[in-house]
A and B are shown apart, each in its own frame.
Chain A
Amino acid sequence: MTEPLETHHKVNPRNAEYNFAYLDEDTKRMIRRAILKGLAIPGYQVPFASREMPMPYGWGTGGVQVSAAVLTPDDTMKVIDQGADDTTNAVSIRRFFEKTAGVAVTEATAEASVIQTRHRIPETPLTEDQILVYQVPIPEPLRFLEPRESETRKMHELEEYGLMHVKLYEDIARHGRIATSYAYPVKVEGRYIMDPSPIPKFDNPKMEMAAIQLFGAGREQRIYAVPPYSQVVSLDFDDHPFDPSKADHPCDLCGAEHSYLDEVIVDDAGGRMFVCSDTDFCAARRAQGHVGRLGTEDAA
């Protein structure tokens, strides 16, 4: 990120028709301006003119545009989808940037300088040298109870956030506890209430991190940001405090006790196992010799 951001050269000789990272420089400048504004007002949704991207909206066009605007030729990119580097979505976005920006790519969290993600924060703590870009479907946390955009904007402006607790109240009334387990609302730096995108609430505490966090919603045309070391508080009630806990199992492959797990059905008889959703984290642990209940020494 210390590189100058002007990147006019066309890097990939095989795809000389693309500007670096696909977007033209005017668009990148517009998006960078939105990002800077977002960083200046943590948690505030900045409108931007989302561009047509060569992929459908559900595929993270907001995140892709934010990544395209912050990438430099020296960056190393990682793309994850639900924690995995090898889903169709993750692979196609990674290929997109390999092709249009010619940047190095990696699956190792620690080696990446820009990480685009859908639905997870990596288990490995991020550093000041990294940027985490989230793909966001619905940026407005108040949308669920107040569909009028004019009204939600006013609520943010005037910090009228009672409605957000109504949502949690409804949860407890219906389920006996706060049942929201994804996209769990947070308050950033004591001011704006923000949707952290559909990450599991288990990941919420990680949002107080050293890396820059950028959020892009393509269809909804919003960008927001959390600067490094910002305060990020998950909303709750005094008698129903926020609980980020996850399934009470270690990973069946690598034995990790404190990573977020996916439940996998392994046979027709209803057999199941729990495995780290962060595939890079799990593979690295197994490479170091950690073995879970169903893991084998050569599993990785």
Chain B
Amino acid sequence: MTPLLSVKNIAKTYGRQIGCADVSFDLFPGEVMGIVGESGSGKSTLLNCLAGHLAPDRGEVLFDTRAEGLRDTVTMSEPARRMLARTDWAFVHQNPRDGLRMGVSAGGNVGERLMAVGARHYGEIRETALDWLDQVEIDGARVDDRPSTFSGGMQQRLQIARNLVTGPRLVFMDEPTGGLDVSVQARLLDLLRGLVRRLGLSAIIVTHDLAVVRLLADRLMVMKSGHVVESGLTDQVLDDPQHAYTQLLVSSVLQV
């Protein structure tokens, strides 16, 4: 089977500071990959290299494009990469303000990607937006309200709807539950799990919350100081960690 994404030896430094180094893995369609590690371990750097937000110093990020099969997104033209970013890919930011247009209504936020790929029927765009608000458990009566009037959890759910509306083939998420209250986190996690199951999403989720990967990720990569120190099936890694750092990570969670 062709992987959806094949990452080969990605490295990124900031001056002398290592962002991430020698990261390689394959992601297959329908798979959810979790990336965990302490603050500063290089999770966001890696994710941004994969999603085309950062240019890695070395390595390849091969994506299974619809037209031409596996293509290196690092070396493809910027227009082609931005086209992927607004069609086949989605990116959910930790801070919904980075992923939403705060001055645009909820419906407009969800509809933007549709319009970006050519939707020109207002009634249909609105119907789709309402359907997606429902799917992320936002009352349709709020469709014309701006996200600035939404709670943090609602904003995050709106950001997810805005990203999923065009049926992306690969979803990148950076700490999607970070910055939310614990009870709000739990609800968002349930919602995400439902969406992942129902839509068969392929996703890469960065988090330092092991509960998130336990619930969502099929496979797991553990990062430390920019390097992947352990990877494998989520349950295996969490229940029987091999690397000393992973053991520490798992045990510190168990103590909570």
Contacts and interface: CB of A to CB of B under 8 A. Distances in A.
Main secondary structure of the interface of B (DSSP, over half): helix
B229 interface: no
B123 A239 contact: yes
Contacts of B103: 145
A169 B120 contact: no
Nearest to A172: B122
Interface stretch (A16-24, A34-42, A45-53, A155-163): A155-163
A172 B123 CA distance: 10
Interface string B129-148: 00000000000000110000
Most A CB atoms within 10 A — which of B122, B123, B125? B122
A174 B126 CA distance: 13
B79 A173 contact: no
Contact of A170 (B78, B86, B108, B121): B108
Interface string A23-64: 000000000000000000000000000000000000000000
B112 A173 contact: no
Contacts of A166: 101, 104, 108, 111-112, 115
A165 B122 CA distance: 10
Nearest to B121: A238
B116 A162 contact: yes
Contacts of A240: 122
A240 B122 CA distance: 7
B105 interface: yes
A236 to B, nearest CB: 8
Contact of B113 (A161, A162, A170): A162
Interface string A138-161: 000000010000000010001011
B107 interface: yes
A245 B126 CA distance: 26
Contact of B115 (A154, A158, A165, A239): A165
A168 to B, nearest CB: 8
A287 to B, nearest CB: 46
A237 B120 contact: yes
B191 interface: no
B117 interface: yes
A238 B126 CA distance: 13
A229 B183 CA distance: 62
21 contacts: A145-B101, A145-B103, A158-B78, A160-B86, A160-B116, A161-B116, A162-B117, A163-B115, A163-B116, A166-B101, A166-B115, A169-B107, A169-B125, A170-B104, A170-B108, A173-B108, A173-B126, A237-B122, A238-B122, A239-B121, A239-B122
